């Protein structure tokens, strides 16, 4: 326990200190974690901490990340990407692996080892690149999308690679491994069912597991989450989300498939579900922390003795690898017509080796494909190339993106992207707002946490996500960063005010339309920063008043103007009182507020006494004919002129 | 520099062939005021005080609209009905608009030959604008010759949209910079983009 606390403290403090520093210098969080890892590695050595096993544990962050990536990817989008995915991704892996293999053979390695090295180096770092692209807001750019396609292909390609690598085993290494079996093993092999079954059973199990993920994801999540929702405990959702991801990962390990692929698939299946944002916001912090730990271990695992003893060789190999990969990517980007700054983002961004390289390397050692000593050198090359990635992004940002800025500005004019509207609450109020916005062709994201209602809405094809809009993380998952408007239509009065306060102070670019429950609530919302406040029963009451006037024999057009005058007066009064309202001072102690209220009450008393017209002076004025005196004065004036 | 305000009134601006582009051009001109009446008062509750203040603040009041049944779109008529108040625009003490200029920029669906005594509209275009002309006179304003486009529905096929919009921009800039020859304008019944009396220097 003490050891665990110490370790947790070490990792956390290293991250908490190094990451903000790295961000401040524009290096990005990944480099921050790597530096943190390098900084604490002497302490970890001194404590005899098994960094590699922590790394295996932290690799689960990659699994979670792929789940989240899957959540963002609807099946249709995946289908639309198929050309890039297979073409760009397939060629990148194939060509890079081939070239690396040729070079390795030229350097005197047997073809089996050369091929294994080629496969290891063909992969790029999903974790670093996706994290960096997201942080820098480049994910939606052409270069970002192409990079994503390639990374996705690589992540999927790891699975057949893991199956293929053992076939390359060298007999002499196998004998060696037989003596010390299991030492460098992945750990989960012992749990695998597939070791003990025949080929067709294995195939059956694989198909069955994938089917279980797809069918279970489609049909089981909804009832499970409904069951959970009854308890109304937040942590239960987190627990369920974790259970889902870990359960799928476990299932995949048991049948000998990649957990990353399984969770990615589950993510894609759930991408259309109403629980998507809920899952996203629950998994996201775990993913972030685990990836942080993963990068720290990468930094800590760098063996400086080995590095400094072979500095020239390893540095040369690393730079050579980066140049080779970048060159392959550059050629591909020309073939696939990736233009301008995007071409460089794509070429430089994916030029490193990746975390799956580590996985594959330790697997090749375990499968007796690559000897231990060589693998250690290669590990260093992978780690060093990952360490250099943030530098490549900095080169892109500082030198290349700048030169293409004018081109991108021009393109931005043509993309008429309407920002999303987030609607919090899909009851009788939010529902109508949603229907109106959708009918006008705007994109909306609706959040509500009443499960029963959501399901009936889904039946009518209305897309609603489950979740409590008052949670910042969920708002984030729903896309508040890119949204242009938030409609607050939740029943909870205080909650609505808090939501308005949070969004108006943290996302000033978001226009807020809020529903107020009563007059007092208007003031609260106003002081929370909302300037477009709609009282939920006001318009219907006004219409009822107009109906009553008409039924009492008032001419319909007069009734209409009376009522319109009332609305205008009331709005003016409301605005004046709202701007003098201070939530921290009780209203009866707020002098300005009291003075203004008294003014309105006095005016109202005058009306009651019959000394003044009701409201509506503004609207009636235009229709008042000149008085007789006016007419006389005018004719007098005209006769003078004549 | 003359202070110009453009009042644009078109309820179906999305389906407009010419007026929307004229409005776009006018909106972009610096140092003139542009009001999209249907945007300011989508529910027809015109704010008389605001409008009268706008009129006080400007020298040239230009109404831009398509001719609807030989008159203005209904919101612009409502605007006249309630903004041009007795005691403000006319009548005893109603001298707030005196000395200012009213001008119109209208588009007409029918061709120029229709607006003749022998054509199917039976009267020249200027005759249908007499109510506004007399309104200006009653308010002691100068009514300047309207800037008009005939056959506006066919304008996209005859290539007249661009020159008419460009003429509109030149007209507004000339008025703003005191380069518009009001006297010369008075000699014409109706002005088109080819006949605008614009001087090079003020």
d(CA B162, CA B7): 21
Q: Over range B63-74, report the average pLDDT.
A: 96
The yes-or-no verdict on residue A542 having pLDDT over 60 is yes
End-to-end Cα, chain B, rounded Å? 9
B80, closest residue in chain A (CA to CA): A622
Higher pLDDT: A131 or A238? It is A238
Mean pLDDT for chain A overall: 80
Percent of chain A with pLDDT over 90: 15
- Which has the higher per-residue pLDDT, B139 or A274? B139
**Rounded mean pLDDT, A204-208:** 83
- Max mean pLDDT range (A87-91, A595-599, A625-629, B66-70): B66-70
3-state secondary structure of A365: helix
CB-based contact, B48 to chain A, within 8 Å: yes
Residues of A in contact with B44 (CB under 8 A): none
The helix/strand/coil state of B117 is coil
Q: Which residue has the higher pLDDT, A190 or A396?
A: A396
Residue B14 near chain A (CB below 8 Å): no
**ipTM score above 0.85:** no
Give the residue on A whose Cα is nearest the Cα of B79: A622
Give the pLDDT score at A414. Answer: 30
The residue that leads in pLDDT, A307 or B49, is: B49
Q: Tell me, yes or no, if A572 comes closer than 8 A to chain B by beta carbon.
A: no
Better-scored residue on pLDDT, A170 or B60:
B60
Q: Is the pLDDT of residue B47 over 80?
A: yes
Q: How far off is chain A from B176, nearest CA to CA, in Å?
A: 30
C-alpha pair distances (Å), A247 with each of A210, A225, A616:
13, 15, 67
- Give me the pLDDT at residue A383, please: 82
With a cut of 50, say whether residue A136 has pLDDT above it: yes
Domains of chain A as residue ranges with CATH: 30-171+182-404 (1.20.1530.20), 417-536 (3.40.50.720), 540-571+588-635 (no CATH)
| Mean pLDDT in residue range A402-425 | 55
- Taking CA atoms, A280 is separated from A71, A274, A277, A478, A503, in Å, by 7, 11, 5, 9, 20
- Residue A592's pLDDT is 83
Q: Report d(CA A194, CA B72) in Å as an integer.
A: 83
Q: Is A133 exposed, middle or buried (0-12, 13-18, 19+ CB in 10 A)?
A: buried
What is the pLDDT averaged over residues A431-447? 87
pLDDT over 70 (residue A633): no
Topology of B4-195 in CATH?
Rossmann fold (3.40.50)
Question: Across the interface, which of B48, B86, B87 has its CB nearest the CB of A618?
Answer: B48
Provide the pLDDT confidence category of residue A274 given band limits of 50, 70 and 90: confident
Q: Judge whether residue A186 has pLDDT over 50.
A: no
What is the mean pLDDT of the segment spanning A128-135? 80
Inter-chain CB proximity B91 and A634 less than 8 Å: yes
Residues 66-85 of B with CB under 8 A from A: 81-83, 85
Supply the pLDDT for residue B39: 93
Digit-coded pLDDT (tens) for A574-632: 888 888 888 777 777 888 888 888 887 777 767 666 555 555 455 566 666 677 776 67
The residue that leads in pLDDT, A231 or A154, is A154
CA distances from A456 to A445, A451, A460, A461 (A): 17, 9, 7, 9
- Confidence band, pLDDT 50/70/90 cuts, at residue A416: very low
In the predicted model, what is the mean pLDDT of residues A325-347? 87
Residues A621, B82: C-beta atoms closer than 8 Å: yes
User: What is the average pLDDT across B38-54?
Assistant: 92
């Amino acid at each position: 326990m003490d050891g665990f606390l110490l370790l947790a403290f070490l990792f956390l403090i290293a991250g908490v200190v190094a990451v903000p520093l790295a961000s401040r210098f524009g290096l990005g969080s990944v480099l921050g974690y790597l530096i943190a890892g390098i900084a604490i590695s002497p302490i970890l050595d001194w404590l005899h901490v098994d960094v590699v096993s922590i790394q295996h544990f932290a690799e689960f962050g990659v699994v979670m990340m792929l789940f989240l990536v899957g959540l963002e990817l609807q099946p249709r989008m995946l289908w639309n990407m198929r050309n890039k995915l297979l073409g760009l991704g397939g060629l990148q892996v194939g060509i890079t692996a081939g070239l690396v293999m040729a070079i390795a053979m030229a350097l005197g390695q047997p073809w089996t080892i050369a091929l294994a090295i080629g496969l290891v180096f063909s992969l790029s770092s999903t974790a670093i690149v996706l994290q960096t692209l997201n942080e820098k807001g480049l994910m939606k750019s052409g270069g970002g999308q192409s990079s994503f396609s390639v990374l996705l292909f690589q992540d999927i390609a790891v699975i057949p690679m893991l199956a293929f690598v053992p076939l390359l085993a060298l007999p002499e290494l196998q004998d060696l491994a037989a003596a010390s079996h299991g030492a460098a093993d992945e750990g989960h092999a012992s749990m695998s069912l597939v070791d003990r079954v025949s080929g067709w059973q294995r195939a059956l199990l694989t198909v069955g597991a994938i089917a279980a993920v797809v069918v279970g994801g489609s049909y089981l999540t909804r009832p499970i989450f409904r069951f959970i929702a009854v308890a109304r405990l937040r942590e239960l959702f987190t627990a369920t989300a974790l259970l889902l991801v870990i359960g799928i990962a476990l299932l995949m390990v048991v049948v000998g498939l990649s957990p990353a692929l399984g969770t990615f698939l589950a993510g894609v299946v759930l991408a259309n579900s109403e629980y998507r944002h809920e899952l996203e916001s629950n998994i996201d912090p775990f993913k972030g922390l685990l990836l942080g730990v993963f990068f720290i271990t990468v930094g800590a695992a760098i063996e400086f003795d080995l590095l400094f003893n072979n500095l020239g060789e390893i540095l040369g190999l690393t730079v050579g690898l980066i140049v080779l990969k970048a060159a392959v990517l550059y050629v591909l980007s020309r073939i696939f017509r990736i233009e301008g700054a995007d071409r460089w983002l794509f070429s430089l961004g994916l030029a490193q080796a990746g975390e799956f390289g580590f996985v594959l390397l330790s697997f090749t050692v375990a499968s007796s494909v690559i000897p231990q000593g060589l693998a250690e050198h290669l590990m260093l090359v992978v780690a060093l190339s990952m360490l250099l990635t943030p530098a490549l992004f900095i080169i892109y940002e500082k030198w290349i993106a700048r030169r293409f800025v004018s081109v991108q500005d021009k393109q931005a004019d043509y993309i008429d992207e309407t920002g999303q509207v987030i609607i919090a609450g899909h009851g009788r109020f939010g529902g109508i707002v949603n229907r109106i916005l959708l009918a006008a062709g705007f994109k909306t994201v609706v959040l509500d946490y009443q499960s029963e209602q959501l399901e009936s809405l889904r039946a009518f094809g209305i897309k609603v996500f489950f979740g409590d809009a008052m949670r910042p993380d969920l708002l984030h998952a729903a896309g508040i960063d890119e949204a242009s408007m938030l409609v607050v239509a939740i029943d909870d009065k205080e909650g609505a005010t808090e939501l308005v306060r949070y969004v108006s102070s943290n996302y000033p670019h978001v226009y807020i339309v809020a529903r107020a429950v009563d007059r007092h609530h208007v003031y609260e919302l106003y002081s929370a920063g909302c300037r477009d406040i709609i009282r939920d029963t006001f318009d219907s009451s006004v219409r009822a008043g107009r109906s009553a006037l008409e039924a009492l024999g008032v001419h319909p057009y007069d009734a209409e103007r009376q009522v319109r005058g009332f609305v205008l007066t009331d709005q003016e009064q409301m605005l004046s009182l709202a701007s003098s309202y201070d939530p921290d001072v009780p209203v009866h102690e707020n002098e300005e507020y009291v003075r203004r209220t008294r003014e309105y009450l006095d005016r109202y008393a005058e009306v009651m006494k019959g000394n003044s017209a009701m409201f509506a002076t503004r609207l009636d004025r235009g229709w008042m004919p000149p008085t007789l005196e006016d007419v006389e004065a005018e004719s007098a004036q005209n006769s003078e002129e004549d | 520099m003359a202070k110009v305000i453009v009042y644009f009134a078109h309820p179906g601006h999305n389906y407009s062939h010419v007026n929307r582009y004229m409005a776009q051009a006018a909106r972009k001109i610096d140092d003139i005021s542009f009001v999209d009446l249907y945007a300011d008062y989508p529910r027809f509750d015109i704010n008389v005080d605001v409008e009268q203040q706008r009129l006080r603040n400007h020298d040239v009041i230009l109404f831009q609209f398509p001719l609807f049944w030989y008159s203005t779109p209904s919101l612009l008529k409502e605007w006249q009905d309630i903004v041009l108040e007795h005691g403000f625009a006319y009548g005893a003490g109603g001298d707030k608009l005196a000395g200012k200029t009213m001008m119109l920029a209208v588009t007409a669906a029918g061709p120029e030959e229709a607006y003749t005594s022998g054509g199917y509209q039976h009267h020249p275009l200027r005759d249908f604008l007499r109510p506004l002309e007399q309104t200006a006179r009653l308010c002691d304003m100068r009514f300047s010759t309207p800037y008009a486009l005939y056959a506006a529905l066919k304008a996209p096929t005859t290539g007249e949209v661009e020159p008419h919009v460009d003429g509109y921009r030149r007209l507004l800039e000339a008025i703003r910079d005191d380069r518009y020859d009001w006297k010369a304008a008075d000699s014409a019944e109706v002005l088109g983009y080819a006949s605008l009396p614009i001087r090079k220097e003020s």
